Chains A and B, each alone.
Chain A
Amino acid sequence: MGRITLENVQKKFGDVEVIPPLNLTIEDGEFVVFVGPSGCGKSTLLRLIAGLEDVTGGEIRIDGKPATDLPPAKRGLAMVFQSYALYPHMSVRKNIAFPMKMAGMDQAEQDRRIAKAATALNLTDYLDRRPGQLSGGQRQRVAIGRAIVREPAAFLFDEPLSNLDAALRVGMRMEISELHKSLETTMIYVTHDQVEAMTMADKIVVLRAGHIEQVGSPLELYKAPRNVFVAGFIGSPKMNLLAGAHADRHDCATMGIRPEHLDVVDGGGTFSGRVGIAEHLGSDTFFHVHVDGISEPMTVRAGGEIGLTHGDTIHLEPQADKIHRFDAQGLRIA
């Protein structure tokens, strides 16, 4: 069980309010991802849940029981740190065994759980090595192993993959997702990687300056961002946000259209401009198009084999049902 409830949780460092009072419920077994720009308080929120920081106000409940004043060890949560935080002088086996040893678990049970975790995480051959003798991905697995042997109520991950190279990141991403499927334990995952958030999450929490901007499934956030910030933050490449005459035509203060919802047409079209940078990814091509009257270049996703290059003229037509409209306060107009 791992249902975590935050009620009016607030955090101040001195006079600086990093997290204004905030409410959030994380259901048992959910994979929740916190995303937001750097410095928005993702790590702080995670550390509040873990108990590594004290809340300034509000209440944290784990499985309905108040946990606000419990020390980290008593909350039954396990955390995987960005720097892995392995104990360098202990072998992999001892690292994984450490939480069980601290809990006074008997040796046979410890060995059984270590063996199980090592098999699940492909660590069997490395159990007697020191962390310093492992690759980044292996270290990450050890850190996860150390977390799962405790059979915690929930896992907390703080940007666990940001120290890995791109290929390894994809692999570990899937391993963590699979782990979640097989353990069915609550996981809270902090990242600022779009793709990680979209692919792994059951529920994404978008934060800005400590505020929750929107909570929802990846598709909900993608299809119906609640405000301009979420619209610009979720989706890669970013949504094109236009103000002025173009927005007026749709009766809104800001109109948004995703790069993938702009069609390249032969002539006419709502927008026409010059191709700036063209990013050819093979399967897709992203064009940065300089449209007259719009200061920022618009991004367009087109098929991989479209034959336009720098300086060519391009005509674009937004798909009418995919246009997002926002009012002067930046809120979505339904």
Chain B
Amino acid sequence: MATEHSKAAARIMIAPAVFVLLVWMLVPLCMTLYFSFADYRPLRATFEPWIGFDNYVSFFTSSSFISSVVTTLQMVGGILCITIVGGVLLALLLDQPMFGQGIVRILVIAPFFVMPTVSALVWKNMFFNVDNGLFSYLYAALGLQPYDFLSQAPLLSIIVIVAWQWLPFATLILLTAVQSLSSEQLEAAEMDGAPGLSRFWYIILPHLSRAITVVILIQTIFLLSIFAEIFVTTNGAFGTRTLTYLVYQRVLESQNIGLGSAGGIIAVILANIVALFLMRIVGKNLDN
């Protein structure tokens, strides 16, 4: 019952949370905004509080900006492709009755609980390492020249690592969606003469479309800020410098806080534009 009384009580109750959120988000945001208009390079002891849009202009016009945006898009796109396709297939597989279903499901979810830094290290040292990685052994066993994944295909390697981490999430959400499909619909399609692939295409996939958009939305928001995996594996070298990583480099490696802050603000704006688009799409998909 939303009486005047309970409304007031509700406001008081959520006030602390709102306050913490505000402090947590608004203060850093305001400081970033403030620094983005300043020439602030602590190592050179430069601090000029107002230089207008200079930082923005130089961040935008530097060649690394465009390439980092492209890298970000490639990385996010690649990971989304792998997790969606893999997630749908795994979900369909896990939906089948099989021996040890419970254990298999837990195993599939396990990667999600591994911290990004840890999983990147594991992949780097256990799988991708040229000298004693498992893939090198595999290549050697097949009589092939071991392949240095992280320097030959760095972007793909990172995509694989992050996709491995996010696959469980996609699988989990898609599995619940697969399970909610009424079996009568599939049987009706079977009676209507639709072979397995058509049933997948015309019945299962449309049924999953909502879940897929939700997965895309949530993952995109998180994937735009991938950091640990890049930091641990390539340090942003070999064309794996995403926008997030570029901002980090500007701030910490070049010690140019003003320039980095401008980059941060740009990243926030771009991410919001993407989120807005995705929200539109999801909203449309959730409507009917």
Quick check: B198 and A102 within 8 Å, CB to CB? yes
Chain A residue numbers with a CB within 8 Å of B190 are 52, 71-73
Q: A87-B203, A89-B207 are in contact. Are A98 and B184 (CB under 8 A)?
A: no
Interface string of B177-192 (1 = CB under 8 A from A): 0000010110111111
Quick check: A98 and B194 within 8 Å, CB to CB? yes
Quick check: B184 and A102 within 8 Å, CB to CB? no
Whole-angstrom distance between the alpha carbons of A50 and B195 in the complex?
16
Interface string of B30-55 (1 = CB under 8 A from A): 00000000000000000000000000
Q: A87-B202, A87-B203 are in contact. Are A78 and B191 (CB under 8 A)?
A: yes
Whole-angstrom distance between the alpha carbons of A237 and B276 in the complex?
64
Contact size range, A: 20 to 34
Quick check: B194 and A102 within 8 Å, CB to CB? yes
Quick check: B188 and A102 within 8 Å, CB to CB? no
Quick check: B202 and A98 within 8 Å, CB to CB? yes
Chain B residue numbers with a CB within 8 Å of A132 are 288
Shortest distance between the CB of B92 and any CB in chain A (Å): 18
The secondary-structure label for the interface of chain A is loop
Q: Decide if B206 is an interface residue (CB 8 Å cutoff).
A: yes
Q: Decide if B193 is an interface residue (CB 8 Å cutoff).
A: yes
Q: Decide if A83 is an interface residue (CB 8 Å cutoff).
A: yes
Q: A81-B184, A130-B288, A132-B288 are in contact. Are A89 and B191 (CB under 8 A)?
A: no
Q: A85-B182, A89-B206, A98-B202 are in contact. Are A73 and B188 (CB under 8 A)?
A: no
Whole-angstrom distance between the alpha carbons of A60 and B207 in the complex?
34
Quick check: A87 and B185 within 8 Å, CB to CB? yes
The secondary-structure label for the interface of chain B is helix
Quick check: B191 and A77 within 8 Å, CB to CB? yes
In the complex, the chain A residue whose C-beta lies closest to that of B188 is A85
In the complex, the chain A residue whose C-beta lies closest to that of B206 is A89
Interface string of B202-217 (1 = CB under 8 A from A): 1100110100000000
Q: Decide if A99 is an interface residue (CB 8 Å cutoff).
A: yes
Which 6 residue pairs across A and B have the least CB separation, nearest first?
A73-B193, A99-B192, A85-B188, A85-B184, A102-B193, A89-B206
Interface string of A46-70 (1 = CB under 8 A from B): 0000101000000000000000000
Q: Decide if A114 is an interface residue (CB 8 Å cutoff).
A: no
A-B contact pairs, 6 of them (CB 8 A): A73-B191, A73-B194, A81-B188, A87-B203, A89-B206, A103-B193
Q: Decide if A11 is an interface residue (CB 8 Å cutoff).
A: no
Quick check: B193 and A99 within 8 Å, CB to CB? yes
Chain B residue numbers with a CB within 8 Å of A98 are 189, 192, 194, 202
User: Which among A52, A82, A102 is the interface contact of B192 at CB below 8 angstroms?
Assistant: A102
Shortest distance between the CB of A53 and any CB in chain B (Å): 10
User: Which among A71, A79, A130 is the interface contact of B188 at CB below 8 angstroms?
Assistant: A79
